[in-house]
Every structure is written in structure tokens, then in C-alpha cells.
Amino acid sequence: MTATLLVGITGLAALDSLNPATIAGVALILLAPLQRRLATALAYVTGAYLAVLTVGVAVYAGADLAADVVTGGLVWVRRGAFGLAALLLLAAAVRRLRPQQRSAVVLPRWFGPWTAAPVAVLVTAADLPNAFPYLIAIERLVTADVPLTTGLWILAGYAVLYCLPCLLLLGVGTLHGERVRRRLQRVYDRIGQARTVPRSIPGALGLFLLAAAVIAIAAAA
């Protein structure tokens, strides 16, 4: 375990934490006329945390086992992690090449403290295929031959960092409720309503280039 490895994984977690799907859930809770807004938001963040941690532990344990059992397993773990990350980037690039129809984002009527956590698990797990930094972080842990227990603690910290923007938004929204809700409402009016997202050639090109770089890393592993 080195400081460089920790700094690198922290950076990947910070990048991963900017996931709009999870943050949008907290924003919608702050905007909704819920009686137990804080409890609902905390349950939502807890569900997101558990989803990230559970998936990470499963992938990490499986990758660590493969590296130990299979001859040359570590090389294949690295190639698999970077290859999957590249495929996810390519899929995102293809989506940017055509207009996307987005439905209005609203909370269902039954949403509350008891259902927020399961919903967060589903939302976060569904969006994890876009979390290529997570795959790279797990690959780094396996490559560095980090002990399993230490790696699990690092993944627990990664999940905390992933949820940090949600917690910050919740804290600010709780302390400065009406002011924050007005700003969130303006953002929601702009991007949360039903709309057609136009295609973006520059965005797709950037994702294609990033995927090519990741493929090159996988090939060199």
C-alpha cells in the first residue's frame, strides 16, 4: 500500500462521485413536499452507499480470486477491467451521436423514508455500468496485491467519497432550505422536464478518444 495508490484511488472516487443520477435523487427529495425530507434523503444516500460498496466488494473479491487461481490471472484481470471500461465509454459515445428523448424526472407518490433506500439501490446499481473509474480503482487494488481486508476498507472509503456530494448537497439544503430549493428549481426547470437532448459530436469524439486510450492501456497490460 503506497501513498501514490491511495491518492490515485481517491482521485478516481472524486471523479466517480460526480455521477448525476445519484445527486439528482437528493435534489428531487429537497424539492419534493415531503414531511420527513431529511430522513428520506439520508435513507436514499445510505441505499446508494450500500449499492456501491456491495458491487465493489463482489467485483474486487472475484477479481482477487481470479488473480490467485488462474495462471496469468492478474494480467487478465487488468485487461478485463480496462476492456470493460473501454466498452462502457464506447457505448456512451454512441449514445451521444443521436438525440435522446428524456422523460420528466419526478418522484413517485409512494416515495418516502421506507422506500428511499431500495430506490437508491436500484438507481445507483443501474448507473454503475457508467462508473468506469470504479473498475480502474479495483484493478489498481488487485494489481498492487493489496491484502483483501485492506482492500475492502479502501472500497468502503471509496463508497463514502462517492456519496460525499450528495451529503454536501443535503447539508446545504438543510441549512439554507428555501434559498437552495429556489436554485435547484431553476436547474430542474432547465434539465429535469421532459425534453430532447440533441446529439453532441464533440462529446462523442471525446468519449471515443478516451475509450481508445483505455483500450491501449488494456492491450499493454
Residue 221 pLDDT greater than 70, yes or no: no
Whole-prediction pTM: 0.75
Q: Which residues pair with 197 in a beta bridge?
A: 100
Exposed/middle/buried for 50, CB within 10 Å: 0-12, 13-18, 19+?
middle
State how many domains the chain has. 1
* Cα(66)–Cα(83) distance, integer angstroms: 16
The parent domain of residue 107 ranges over 3-220
Question: Which stretches of the chain are DSSP H helices?
Answer: 3-16, 20-31, 37-69, 73-96, 113-127, 132-143, 148-175, 177-191, 201-220
Mean pLDDT over residues 175-195, rounded? 76
pLDDT value of position 69 = 47
The answer to whether residues 57 and 155 touch, using CB atoms and an 8 Å cutoff, is yes
Q: What is the DSSP letter of 102?
A: E
55-98, pLDDT tens digit by residue?
Answer: 889 888 877 665 554 445 556 666 776 777 778 778 888 888 88
* Cα(149)–Cα(143) distance, integer angstroms: 15
- Mean pLDDT, the chain, integer: 82
Three-state DSSP class for residue 110: coil
Would you tell me how many other CB atoms lie within 10 Å of the CB of residue 16? 23
* Cα(134)–Cα(52) distance, integer angstroms: 9
139-149, pLDDT tens digit by residue?
Answer: 888 888 888 89
